[in-house]
Amino acid sequence: MNDSDNLFCDDSFLREKEDISSKTPTAGPKWKVMVVDDEEEVHRMTTAAMRDFMFEDMGLDLIFASSAGEAKFALNKHPDTALIILDVVMETEHAGLEVVRYIRQTLNNKFMRIILRTGQPGMAPENDVIINYDINDYKAKSELTIQRLYTSVVTCLRSYSDLIKLDDACKKLEKEAQRRILMEKQLAEREYQAAVGMAITQIVHGAKNILSALKGGQYMINAALKNNDSELLIKGWDAAQTGISRMAALTGDLLDVSRFNQIELKVGSIPSLVEDIIGMFQDEDRAVEVSGDIDKSTPPILFDYEAIHTALMNLVSNAIDACTAREYDSGEKARVLIRVYSADGFVNIDVEDNGQGISENDMDKIFVLFFSTKNFRGNGLGLPITKKIVEGHGGALEVTSQKGSGTTFLIRLPLKDNL
Ligand SMILES: Nc1ncnc2c1ncn2[C@@H]1O[C@H](COP(=O)(O)OP(=O)(O)O)[C@@H](O)[C@H]1O
Ligand SMILES: [Mg+2]
């Protein structure tokens, strides 16, 4: 190596420097570079050598310290130092390494770049110090020419700048992620509150309707008692009884909404459950005929008897309502047919009616909680409960309908892996 290249042996670097950078440092932000060395001469030389230094349009702000103690003090004052050029041997043989530990361990600063330099060539730190403390360059003072110092400083500032940019990007991402999580939470909370609010309104609305029917009955009964009017008494009592059964249906359905959160599976026969249900509708004077077409060979499956019973009762009562609401041509009879058969790995239960059917517009809404076209006679809980029960069994609830001529609901319960 030519002696005249050495930063610490020759003043000619001042002239050489002019060629390296022609830019003039600006008054804007600067890279903080700390020079820690117990030789005053090194401070002076470094200042002169780096006078016109520019990187990413920023000049240098040089900070000087002459011992490990001074360096620690300066580091506390300038935690945003980008690079420290550190002498190893100062007040003690390992004073520089003490500063390195202070930066990485005590200050927990992982970004600051470190160049170690020493006047004593044999005094290199152990490899584990270089690895564990993320030392970016290690140079004997005799090796450090102006050009090498320049290259080293540029390399270190570039990696410092990249680290800071990466850290900023990570922080921004983290902040954005937190903001989104918070927004989603707030949105979910608002939606939940709105749903709860709507549910309460619907329930109170339903209860109020029933209450006014009951009040009507109460009014009639009072008037009948006053006037000894037995006909009015019967009317009033009828109204009161209707109100009571509607209230019982509402409270029962409301309980069903949460009752079937847990499905209790037991081996059982769907054909015999359906026969039980058909049996409930067999009295002679029924306006709507309820019958079955049951394939007795349908294999037993695992299901919750009470839950599927509730689901089917909901479908059958809707079917009867739909028939009751339709006007039939003479000779045509209102009927509900329940079919049971297994196919494609499912036990299927069809509930088919020849009632008034469902309009295309209503088709999208029938599974929505509280949707009902029956005014105060319906509460809109039957189908949402039914869907929840069927899906709770890993099955599916399907519907096809023709406005004016009938509807078929199909419960599909899986056979495979069920037993
Ligand atoms: N078999 C059917 N035929 C025609 N419309 C039906 C049938 N089943 C359900 N619907 C429609 O779906 C709506 C929602 O049914 P549901 O949730 O059981 O509530 P509700 O019976 O209390 O009205 C009914 O109001 C009705 O408009
Ligand atoms: Mg219903």
Q: Are residues 286 and 361 in the same domain?
A: yes
Ligand positioned closest to the Cα atom of 316? 1
d(CA 250, CA 86): 81
Q: Are residues 230 and 332 in the same domain?
A: no
Task: Check pLDDT > 50 for residue 246.
Answer: yes
Contact 136, 154 (CB under 8 A): no
Residue 71 lies in a domain: yes
Residue in 202, 335, 337, 366 to alter for ligand 1 test, most ligand atoms within 8 A of Cβ: 366
Check pocket membership of 318 for ligand 1, CB cut-off 6 A: yes
Q: 80 is in which domain, residue-wise? A: 3-175
Q: Are residues 206 and 171 in the same domain?
A: no
Check pocket membership of 406 for ligand 1, CB cut-off 6 A: no
Residue in 290, 359, 383 to alter for ligand 1 test, most ligand atoms within 8 A of Cβ: 383
Residue in 318, 351, 369, 398 to alter for ligand 1 test, most ligand atoms within 8 A of Cβ: 318
Check pocket membership of 304 for ligand 1, CB cut-off 6 A: no
Query: At 402, phi and psi to the nearest 5?
Result: -125, 115
**Residue 9 CB neighbours (<10 A):** 15
Could you tell me the CA-to-CA distances from 84 to 11, 22, 74 in Å, in that order? Answer: 23, 24, 11
Q: Are residues 170 and 193 in the same domain?
A: no
Could you tell me the CA-to-CA distances from 155 to 137, 158, 353 in Å, in that order? Answer: 10, 5, 81
**Residue 334 CB neighbours (<10 A):** 20
Looking at 63-126, list the stretches that DSSP marks H as alpha helix, in order from N- to C-terminal side: 68-77, 95-101
Residue 63 lies in a domain: yes
Ligand 1 atom nearest 353 alpha carbon: 1
Residue 360 lies in a domain: yes
Ligand 1 atom nearest 371 alpha carbon: 14
Q: End of a domain among 123, 150, 175?
A: 175
pTM > 0.75? no
d(CA 373, CA 403): 14
Looking at 37-145, list the stretches that DSSP marks H as alpha helix, in order from N- to C-terminal side: 40-49, 68-77, 95-101, 127-132
* Mean pLDDT value of segment 395-408: 96
Could you tell me the CA-to-CA distances from 219 to 193, 206, 223, 240 in Å, in that order? Answer: 38, 20, 6, 10
| pLDDT tier at 11, thresholds 50, 70, 90 | very low
d(CA 185, CA 267): 41
Six token digits for residue 194: 């709105």
Q: Are residues 167 and 54 in the same domain?
A: yes
What is the DSSP annotation of 201-239?
HHHHHHHHHHHHHHHHHHHHHHHHHHHT-HHHHHHHHHH
Ligand 1 atom nearest 380 alpha carbon: 19
| Nearest Cα residue to atom 21 of ligand 1 | 378
Q: Are residues 271 and 369 in the same domain?
A: yes
Q: End of a domain among 204, 237, 259?
A: 259
Check pocket membership of 243 for ligand 1, CB cut-off 6 A: no
CATH, residue 193 = 1.10.287
Instruction: Report DSSP state, residue 136.
Output: -
d(CA 126, CA 175): 40
Residue 57 lies in a domain: yes
Counting Cα atoms < 13 Å in the Cβ hemisphere of 308 gives 29
Six token digits for residue 139: 């140079």
- pLDDT the model gives residue 261: 85
Distance 267 CA to ligand 2 centre (A): 28
Q: Are residues 228 and 93 in the same domain?
A: no
Residue 419 lies in a domain: no
Counting Cα atoms < 13 Å in the Cβ hemisphere of 117 gives 26
Six token digits for residue 61: 């702000």
Check pocket membership of 319 for ligand 1, CB cut-off 6 A: yes
How many domains are there within the chain?
3
Mean pLDDT (the chain, rounded)? 88
Task: Check pLDDT > 50 for residue 2.
Answer: no
Residue 387 lies in a domain: yes
d(CA 262, CA 307): 10
Residue in 367, 372, 377, 389 to alter for ligand 1 test, most ligand atoms within 8 A of Cβ: 372
Of the listed ranges 8-22, 59-73, 272-286, the one predicted with least confidence = 8-22
Residue 402 lies in a domain: yes
CATH, residue 361 = 3.30.565.10
Distance 54 CA to ligand 1 centre (A): 78
- pLDDT the model gives residue 123: 59
Residue 180 lies in a domain: no
SS3 392: helix
Q: Are residues 140 and 222 in the same domain?
A: no
> Which is more confidently placed, 12 or 408?
408
342-389: per-residue pLDDT in tens? 998 999 999 999 999 999 999 999 999 889 999 878 889 999 999 999
Of the listed ranges 3-7, 135-139, 284-288, the one predicted with least confidence = 3-7
Q: End of a domain among 259, 274, 296?
A: 259
Q: Is 228 left (phi over 0), alpha (psi -120 to 50) or beta?
A: left
| pLDDT tier at 126, thresholds 50, 70, 90 | low
Check pocket membership of 168 for ligand 1, CB cut-off 6 A: no
Query: At 348, phi and psi to the nearest 5?
Result: -105, 140
> Which is more confidently placed, 400 or 331?
400
Ligand 1 atom nearest 406 alpha carbon: 3
d(CA 46, CA 149): 9
* Residue located via tokens 């049951």: 294
Q: Are residues 343 and 245 in the same domain?
A: no
d(CA 214, CA 248): 13
Q: Are residues 154 and 216 in the same domain?
A: no
Q: Are residues 205 and 253 in the same domain?
A: yes
Check pocket membership of 74 for ligand 1, CB cut-off 6 A: no
Check pocket membership of 206 for ligand 1, CB cut-off 6 A: no
25-63: per-residue pLDDT in tens? 456 789 999 999 999 988 998 898 888 899 999 999 999
Distance 370 CA to ligand 2 centre (A): 10
Q: Are residues 158 and 205 in the same domain?
A: no
CATH, residue 142 = 3.40.50.2300
d(CA 25, CA 209): 83
Nearest to 84 by CA among 171, 170, 101: 101
Q: What is the C-alpha radius of gyration for the chain, rounded to an integer number of angstroms?
A: 43
Check pocket membership of 378 for ligand 1, CB cut-off 6 A: yes
Check pocket membership of 135 for ligand 1, CB cut-off 6 A: no
